Amino acid sequence: MNKPAFEANWERLADMPIGKWEPASIVLDDKLYVLGGYESGIRSGKNLHVFDPAAAVGGVWTKLQDLPSSITHVNLAPGDTGFWFAGGMKDMDRPKEIKDHIIAEFWHFDPELDRYTAGPILPGRRAGGGLVRFGDNLHYISGLMEDRDTDSPDHWVFDLASWRKTGGGMWKNLAPLPLARNQLMVTVFDEKIYVIGGQLNHDSQQLDQPNVDIYDPITDSWSAGPSLPYGHSHSEGATFTHDNRIWMVGGHTTRDGGTKGLCENILSLGKGEDEWELTYKLPRKLSSPAAKVVHGRLYVAGGFDFVRMKSGNAYWADRQLSSAEVLVTDLPVRG
């Protein structure tokens, strides 16, 4: 899997207001929201920005209300208005030698009010799990436990109808993920929840996995889906469903017999297909960007590429610079 099925015609737009690595992202009302992530120097960020590609030539970025916490390792799920996020890692500041810690916070953001509302906390502290909406329920699946290294198979569900009616609710247990992991990708596809890739452990080691697990909410059961062509993680904010295809942009990958590294591939999977397609390639290998489709164009924002670095001989993490670059290309035309 080296030659892409289609050639992308990448266009570089004006940079985001601030570089972000491992941000979360979502599209609402044809606007791209990019939340949190590590800013340069590996500092957890409180920034929330929204990009409107139709507001002007090249689009316009607008800063919204700061997050309640400086967080990473979350993903966003749509609400009735705005979006939800849960758990995550909080308050990393590498220059000050402060390590981030895992939390159980659960928040809703309303763009019309530019306001956050706290919901019932997760049953346990988690980060790098998958939050996804299916029907009127939010599912939180797997992720790291409080020790930053143990993967939990837990699968929790929150009833949004109860939230609307009472302003409260409780997380309940559902069938656990067959293989617990973290920094996995999650999306709804073909009336089921797909949990894609991810890695085992975090602080002791990071072992990328090719597994794809499919959850059927009707039977509360899991089945195996088409495996990735290699172990893969760190595409949480860049994995989504569009036009009956799953898309996964950049991230980290470990090929058979190889070592973990950054990835330039954009994979996709269509309905009824049993193999992932290498659809496009990015201009360079890129870890953990935000990526979504708006108005039929694929936007890729931020990430980390080991190219933009502070000069010197210090350890890479002490020279890290998060990317603010924004790229866009049209989607391929399929016969």
Is CATH 2.120.10.80 the right assignment for the domain spanning 11-329?
Answer: yes
SS3 85: strand
So what's the pLDDT on residue 257? 78
What pLDDT does 309 receive?
87
- The 10s digit of each residue's pLDDT in 59-93 is 999 999 999 999 999 999 999 999 999 999 999 99
CA angle 139, 141, 145 (to 5 degrees): 130
State how far the Cα of 67 lies from the Cα of 117, in Å rounded to an integer. 11
Q: State how far the Cα of 56 lies from the Cα of 17, in Å rounded to an integer.
A: 16
Mean pLDDT of 180-200: 98
Average pLDDT over residues 23-42: 97
Q: What are phi and psi of 284, to 5 degrees?
A: -155, 165
CA neighbor of 320 nearest in space, from 287, 293, 282, 296: 287
DSSP 186-238: EEEETTEEEEE--EE-SSS--EEB--EEEEETTTTEEEE-PPPSSEEE--GGG
Burial class (CB in 10 A: 0-12, 13-18, 19+), 10: middle
For the chain, percent of residues with pLDDT exceeding 90? 94
- In this prediction, residue 306 carries a pLDDT of 86
Q: Is the pTM of this model over 0.75?
A: yes
Q: Which two tokens stand for residue 224?
A: 């195996």
Q: What is the mean pLDDT of residues 187-211?
A: 97
- DSSP assignment string, 166-190: HS----EE-PPPSS--BS-EEEEET
Query: Above 80 in pLDDT, residue 137?
Result: yes
Structure tokens given for 36 = 């949190």
Q: What is the mean pLDDT of the chain?
A: 96
**What's residue 238's pLDDT?**
98
What's 312's DSSP letter? S
Q: Phi, psi (5° rounding) for residue 91?
A: 70, 40
Which residue intervals of the chain are DSSP H helices? Answer: 160-166
45 contacts 65 by C-beta, under 8 angstroms: no
Question: What is the pLDDT at residue 2?
Answer: 84
Query: What residue spans define the domains of the chain?
Result: 11-329
Q: Are 24 and 38 in contact (CB under 8 A)?
A: no
Comparing 180 with 316, the larger pLDDT belongs to 180
Looking at residue 76, what is its pLDDT?
98
The pLDDT of 167-191, averaged and rounded, is 97
Mean pLDDT of 120-127: 98
Looking at residue 255, what is its pLDDT? 82
Mean pLDDT over 133-142 rounds to 98
The answer to whether residues 298 and 242 touch, using CB atoms and an 8 Å cutoff, is no
pLDDT number for residue 333: 93
Query: pLDDT band at 37, cuts 50/70/90?
Result: very high
CB count, 10 Å around CB of 112? Answer: 7
At a CB cut-off of 8 Å and minimum separation 6, what does 12 contact?
A: 325, 326, 327
First CA to last CA distance, the chain: 21
Q: What are 217-276's pLDDT values in tens digits?
A: 999 999 999 999 999 999 999 999 999 999 999 999 988 778 899 999 999 999 999 999
Is 1 a residue whose pLDDT tops 80?
A: no
Residues 6+ apart with CB under 8 A from 321: 19, 40, 304, 308, 309, 310
Alpha-carbon span 100 to 105, nearest angstrom: 14
